Chain A
């Protein structure tokens, strides 16, 4: 079980890159925070998300 953008999800031993594909974020430019730490884009493929991790996926929206 992980927490993704505030919601609990049943993922185990999955990389950030795989998570983004499974959740439909692969075509959006996002930034990732894993347990409060930013994960650089070039590390998405080798960063493993573990049980109990908290993941935030953020992107841009319109704003002033």
Chain B
């Protein structure tokens, strides 16, 4: 086979990455022309805070003794917490969270915007962190977020200076309203909370990623590292998981697995995925016969 001239084709279109490919007698050679035009080390920006880790860890449903190892193995820089009536004589979860990890209180238990605002203000008193994950549910069977009340709470808390991260059902119009209300990110659900079912709402999360100029953090329902990786490959800014890790056979080991998956997916997204052929094949090895010129 004679040498072909550089054949240009377009890769996965992230910032129009252009690859050229030379085929010669020595085999196939790929040459990068323009790649990584986006900063692969770009930080996750949430309001006034910046993070290197793109994996947010939940702290529910597993032993306090495992939290430190889970946080460290996950490389997590943010951990979520819930606020409830205090019980005396019980260890405080705050004593088990490594220093330097940002606390992200959620408003679980809130059934409307007013209750979420109340929980957020109390949480800020406890931990002096002004980050809050808004979670407003009206039923305990499906635990689906009340998007309307979530927008109301976001508006109030953003005005009070909170870094507001609303958990929501992935709806483009609601995401736009949350943006206008001052949200620092949008946290669409992948599947019902605690279900470990994976990204059931994939097409709708993709719309948010394409259209909303805020970090999109896929939250709830992610059950496996491969699903976290998939969310990141799609262009999600971060992934949050709790039950997937809490219900795993080995909590710290699964935390590590998620960390690797999130990083792999992020790098893949930033690199630009290889193209998919509609039909036919494209040899990876030289098309010359063995021992032929």
> B-contacting residues of A (Cβ < 8 Å)?
5-6, 23-25, 27-33, 38, 40-41, 56-64
Contact = CB atoms under 8 A, between A and B. Distances in A.
A23 B94 CA distance: 19
B interface secondary structure, majority = mixed
A56 B67 CA distance: 27
Interface stretch (B47-55, B122-130, B209-217, B255-263): B122-130
Contacts of A32: 125
7 contacts: A5-B86, A58-B84, A61-B60, A62-B64, A62-B93, A64-B193, A64-B220
Given A61-B93, A63-B108, A28 B60 contact: no
A58 B85 contact: yes
A28, A29, A41, A59 interface centre (most CB from chain B within 10 Å):
A59
A42 B47 CA distance: 28
A28 B96 CA distance: 12
B275 interface: no
A28 B81 CA distance: 15
Contacts of A62: 58-62, 64, 67, 81-82, 93
B247 to A, nearest CB: 12
A59 B82 CA distance: 8
Contacts of B105: 60
Nearest to B104: A63
B121 interface: yes
B89 interface: yes
Given A5-B86, A58-B122, A63 B92 contact: no
A56 B85 CA distance: 7
